[in-house]
Chain A
Amino acid sequence: MAENVVPRVRVPRDASAGESVSVRTLISHPMESGMRRGSDGNLIPRQIINRFTCAFNGAMVVDVEIQAGVATNPYFQFDAKVDQSGSFEFTWYDDDGSVYTETAEIAVA
């Protein structure tokens, strides 16, 4: 497991029904591309977040496939339309098999 991997999300606390809210996510991760060589001349093995998903009350909102070109600490921002109160569930999948999750509640008036 990579060190210092901490997911963070920013979702508004409340919204009105049908409103499009801005969701921001960030995960600290080195995103080692697998293209670089270390001081010993050997390739540093690839270790990246290869998939990021966000679901709202179980329904998929975004599902992103990530390749080695994405820089360190991947940041995703997107808009999501919310019709009812519920929770966003965020999941990041690491090359080494680790899965990082985070949730955020939103109240819809």
Chain B
Amino acid sequence: MTGKTLLGGVAAAGLAVGVAGIGFADIRTGDSLVINGDLAMITEAPAPEFLQDRVTTIYSGWVFRTDETRAMQADDFDNPAMLYAEQGLTAFETAMGSEGKSCASCHENAESLAGVRASYPKWDAEHGAVQTVEMQIIECQTERMGVAEPYGYDSQAMRNMASLIASVGRGQTINVAIDGPVAETWAFGEEIYYTKYGQLELSCADCHENNYGNLIRADHLSQGQINGFPAYRLKNANVNSVHGRFRGCIRDTRGETFAVGSPEFVALELYVASRGNGLTVEGPSVRN
């Protein structure tokens, strides 16, 4: 019964957004995020086609945050995540591994990777698998740079590098492919999204599709969009990876989580990323 009431509430609120352009619950929609005064972000967009019967508008997590947190992201000087992106840039230009190459040896500069964040995870024909940005970094390290010990999937160095790659791609519209060779993985990700986990029996959809905009204790549930990742979280004063967040969510359902970098989380990342097709890359963002 409760579930039905909540569902009805969100549907009505969603309608109000579509018709009058006003917010649902106490979330203020309709604001625009412009970074450094010149880089406009798309924080609200029509949902991708496959989602239309369940969600009409997709919102960046930025929309659900307080004015103070929103403002921190609007200026690179105020955005603490940029410190980590800078460390990533230092690593980008530093030679590592037996080949004596740095990332910059092949990629020239970080800006040349501007299109990466918007299209990943994507199909890697060479390996016959869906690859995330992190997996691609590890592949470069082990197969091209001769690094014996590549970055750990969720290590600080990896999150720094991922922050750098996201930061140069900011403003690009997310367009993750969901058909062709990735279709199977995408369907697996969708299945995970709607599967209830843990003692609390919660699926991703229970919070992020049926209850976004509502309070979960003192916090507003977002749509769980990952366009802002890696995200600087005020709670741990560090940049956080997508898989780290997934793990946190499943842990909060009191369930056994999948491992970071596991096939399950890669599939889920692909599916969740595709739900954000139409938003812009915002990472590294600021969230609470």
Contacts and interface: CB of A to CB of B under 8 A. Distances in A.
Interface stretch (A2-10, A32-40, A95-103): A2-10
B77 A10 contact: yes
Interface in B146-202: none
B237 A72 contact: yes
Interface string A75-90: 1000000000000000
B35 interface: no
Contact of B86 (A6, A24, A71, A72): A6
B77 A73 contact: no
Interface in B74-94: 77-78, 80, 83, 86-87
A58 B83 CA distance: 30
A73 B78 CA distance: 11
A10 B237 CA distance: 22
A4 B91 CA distance: 12
Contact of B77 (A6, A24, A72): A24
B130 to A, nearest CB: 33
A10 B87 CA distance: 19
A6 B78 CA distance: 15
Interface string A15-59: 000000000101010000000000000000000000000000000
B83 A28 contact: yes
B209 to A, nearest CB: 35
A6 B89 CA distance: 14
A39 to B, nearest CB: 16
A8 B82 CA distance: 12
Interface string B48-89: 000000000000000000000000000001101001001100
Nearest to B83: A28
A8 B237 contact: no
A109 B251 CA distance: 59
A71 B238 CA distance: 12
B77 A4 contact: no
A8 B80 contact: no
Contacts of A28: 83
A24 B75 CA distance: 12
B237 A4 contact: no
A73 B80 contact: yes
A72 B156 CA distance: 15
A75 to B, nearest CB: 8
Nearest to B237: A72
B87 A4 contact: yes
Nearest to B80: A73
Interface of A: 4, 6, 8, 10, 24, 26, 28, 71-73, 75
Given A6-B83, A26-B83, 9 more contacts: A4-B87, A6-B86, A8-B77, A26-B77, A71-B237, A73-B80, A73-B83, A73-B237, A75-B78
